[in-house]
Structure 1
Amino acid sequence: MSADAAPTAVSGNAGRTTDRLLGVLMVFAETEEATAAQVAEITGIPVSTVYRMLERLSASGFVQRRDTGPAYGAGPVAVRFAERYRSGALERTSIGPRLARLSHESGELAAFMVPMGTEALCVDAVEGARVLRCCYTRGAVRPLLRGATAEALLAHLPESRREEVYAAYRLPAARVRGLEAAHPLVRERGVAVSESALDEGVWGASSPVLDDSGALKGVVTVMAPAALTERRRPYYVRLVKEAARDLSGGTI
């Protein structure tokens, strides 16, 4: 071996370690918490190596061990990174102001959701005139399984992405057929609606935001108390579709 071969080998090992660390971090970008064994299964990294990497990431604040068990989750440093990214991204877009307008016009909670792996991530949310107890708050993630948001996202995701979601949650064939059968109507109407799908007594409507090529960027969602707003639902549907149309096309 020549004298200058060693640095290349070291560099290659360092690069491999970095890739593995990033792979471990990506697990916590996709899921709220995971054990070392689960991280090893997802990444293909030996579990003993995963433990060492989690120790390094814990020491630097990127991940932290849960108090209630053996699982790990995002640490304070990772959370600060995410919040800074979210704040900076929203400052450069029209999402926040358009959500604020939608919330003002409807008087209800308005949110912008994006697909993240097998889940829906709430990028931003604006409270309405009345406080609504629901699962969509800024930074919250929910499985892409049920509810207006999940239906609108799934209906506009590529088939390969939908299949990944179905496989991840091990949905039975009958459930998959039911979901797939609903997608054409959602695409035709440009909106999905649901009631008490995630939170009891909450009605929601979601409309897709698409880029210039027609690819999905996210969905705009309005949520309201089901018992108090039945007559206003057509109005909410119109408002959420208008907001999604305003945000579609180009860069938001």
Structure 2
Amino acid sequence: MSGAAPMRVLANATELIELLAGEGALPLVDVATRIGVPRPSIYRLCEGLAAVGMVELLPDSRVRLSTRWLALADAARAGMLEWRGAPEVLAHLVERTGQTAYLSVPYGSSALCVDWCQGRAIDVLAYRPGSMMPLHVGAAGRTFAAYGVPLPEGDRRRRTEKTIIDYDELAADRERIRRDGYALSEEDVTIGIGAVGVPILAPDGTLRGALSLGGLVEDIRKHCDEFVAELRAGVERLSGV
């Protein structure tokens, strides 16, 4: 077997895992189409991953990530020493605002939620630890796009009628976020839900992550300025840990 073959298998496994992480359980046929791999190869790959406990094969010919990833996610989060002060900062944001607070980092062409603290108002938010959002939607994703994470050319799926997908509108959105220093998400991911996010920058200006607050869009709109102030204070506390 050539050296390229094992690398191709690993690359396919990575694409499969990231697809399931972003969208949940999917039919095996859809997985093969989405990542461009022949069906027999996908079946063998999923059987292999299931044998080592990384995915579960469901009776209706779908595949999903296994619960083993929960333990792996906790271990990975514990190992991120640069964010060791995040739980206290996120809890303080919830205490001050009542909204759900998030810490996100760039991951490829997505925003990855690495930690959160649930708010007091609602529990219908789509963004949770371990989940990813594309860079054209949401407060964290659009913040990352504005601060230099490349926005992919394709795969700008419309989540709601308020999702921005036009190239020129996205460019204007990035300029606005850079000018104001925060991103405001108003129902572009889920109707009725909003979010506001600010970047976490290293002293040299390098993007490290984002803090954001999510909740009912009316609350986010009404209290946007004060929420931005709380997020910026949270960034200062997090950066000083």
- What interval of TM-score do these two structures reach, taking the shorter chain for normalisation? 0.7 to 0.9
Say yes or no: does 1:180 pair with 2:167.
Answer: no
Report the CA distance between 1:222 and its aligned residue.
0.9
Say yes or no: does 1:19 pair with 2:7.
Answer: yes
- Contact conserved, 1:24 with 1:39, CA < 8 A, in 2? no
| 2:113 aligns with one of 122, 134, 140 | 122
Where structure 1 has 5 or more consecutive residues not aligned to the other structure, the ranges are: 1-12
Q: For the structure 1 residues 48 and 135, does the alpha-carbon distance in structure 2 shift closer, same or farther, using more than 3 Å as the test?
A: closer
Name the structure 2 match of 1:31: 19
1:118-197 to 2 correspondence within 5 Å? 118-158=109-149, 161-162=150-151, 164=152, 166-169=153-156, 175-197=166-188
Whole-Å separation in 2 of the counterparts to 1:213 and 1:30: 31
Whole-Å separation in 2 of the counterparts to 1:175 and 1:65: 38
- Contact conserved, 2:139 with 2:197, CA < 8 A, in 1? yes
Cα RMSD of the aligned pairs, angstroms, is 3.2
Report the CA distance between 1:17 and its aligned residue.
5.2
Residue identity in the other structure for 2:196: A
Calculate the TM-score normalised by the size of structure 1.
0.75
Whole-Å separation in 2 of the counterparts to 1:178 and 1:211: 28
* Number of residue equivalences: 231
Name the structure 2 match of 1:233: 224
1:104-123 to 2 correspondence within 5 Å? 104-123=95-114
1:155-204 per-residue CA deviation (whole Å, 9 max, x = no partner) reads 1134xx21x2x323379xx7011101121221122101122222332232
Report the CA distance between 1:245 and its aligned residue.
4.0
Whole-Å separation in 2 of the counterparts to 1:229 and 1:17: 49
Q: Which one has the largest radius of gyration? A: 1
Residue identity in the other structure for 2:148: L
Q: For the structure 1 residues 235 and 74, does the alpha-carbon distance in structure 2 shift closer, same or farther, using more than 3 Å as the test?
A: same
Report the CA distance between 1:224 and its aligned residue.
3.0
Q: For the structure 1 residues 15 and 41, does the alpha-carbon distance in structure 2 shift closer, same or farther, using more than 3 Å as the test?
A: farther
Whole-Å separation in 1 of the counterparts to 2:219 and 2:38: 54
Structure 1 vs Structure 2: percent identity of aligned residues?
25
Structure with greater helix percent = 1
Where structure 2 has 5 or more consecutive residues not aligned to the other structure, the ranges are: 159-164
Whole-Å separation in 1 of the counterparts to 2:33 and 2:121: 45
- Contact conserved, 1:95 with 1:247, CA < 8 A, in 2? yes
Name the structure 1 match of 2:56: 64
Report the CA distance between 1:154 and its aligned residue.
1.2
SS in structure 2 of the partner of residue 61 of structure 1 = coil
Whole-Å separation in 1 of the counterparts to 2:109 and 2:58: 22
Q: For the structure 1 residues 201 and 117, does the alpha-carbon distance in structure 2 shift closer, same or farther, using more than 3 Å as the test?
A: same
| 2:75 aligns with one of 84, 90, 108 | 84
Residue identity in the other structure for 1:60: V
SS in structure 2 of the partner of residue 31 of structure 1 = helix
Q: For the structure 1 residues 217 and 91, does the alpha-carbon distance in structure 2 shift closer, same or farther, using more than 3 Å as the test?
A: closer
Report the CA distance between 1:19 and its aligned residue.
2.6
SS in structure 1 of the partner of residue 198 of structure 2 = strand
Whole-Å separation in 2 of the counterparts to 1:241 and 1:121: 20
SS in structure 2 of the partner of residue 81 of structure 1 = helix
